[in-house]
């Protein structure tokens, strides 16, 4: 049986006509297990993202994110698993282990690039994200991971 979800009306939507892109200064950018790690290193912890530097106003209600989850498998046997989730900064009941995006790679020497998109609720132009990566991390022996999500739009 389906659960009836609450929905809220928005009256204005904005999108950027620029090409979707992956870049190191994306709103959500994490790189683990590489010679040049980037972004927050702590897993299963909420990390705040402020979208106002990208032009999102304080009164925006949600943002649309789009990009990739990336795994590059190393030379040791492992099931490399990357998960990500989001919440509004005022949602103190959200569980960082309840993921919405996932990418998995089990093949030694393999790699995955999984598309990821999400609508994230905002408070004062901000949202939180959390992620987890499985097993030992550190390429070339073990997997390396990346999350790269661009901002494509927002609504008021």
Per-residue pLDDT tens over the stretch 4-37: 989 999 999 999 988 767 777 899 999 999 998 9
Among candidate residues 89, 22, 13, 4, the one with its CA nearest the CA of residue 57: 13
* Helix and strand numbers, DSSP H then E, in the chain: 0, 9
Rg over CA atoms, the chain: 16
Report the alpha-carbon distance of residue 62 to residue 45 in Å, rounded. 21
Answer yes or no: CATH 3.40.50 is held by domain 22-155: no
Q: pLDDT tens digits, residue range 94-141?
A: 999 999 999 999 999 999 999 999 999 999 999 999 999 998 999 999
């Amino acid at each position: 049986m389906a659960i009836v979800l609450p929905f809220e009306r928005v009256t204005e939507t904005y999108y950027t006509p620029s090409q979707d892109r992956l870049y190191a200064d994306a709103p959500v950018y994490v790189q683990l297990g590489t010679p040049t790690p980037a972004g927050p290193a702590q897993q299963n912890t909420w990390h705040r993202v402020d979208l106002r530097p990208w032009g999102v106003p304080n009164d925006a209600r949600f943002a649309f994110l789009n990009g990739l989850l990336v795994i590059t498998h190393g030379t040791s046997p492992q099931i490399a698993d990357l998960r990500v989730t989001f919440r509004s900064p005022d949602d103190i009941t959200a569980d960082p282990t309840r993921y919405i995006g996932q990418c998995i790679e089990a093949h030694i020497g393999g790699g995955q690039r999984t598309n990821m998109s999400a609508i994230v609720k905002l408070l004062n132009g901000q949202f939180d994200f959390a992620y987890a990566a499985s097993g030992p991390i550190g390429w070339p022996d073990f997997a390396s991971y990346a999350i790269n999500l661009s901002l494509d739009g927002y609504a008021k």
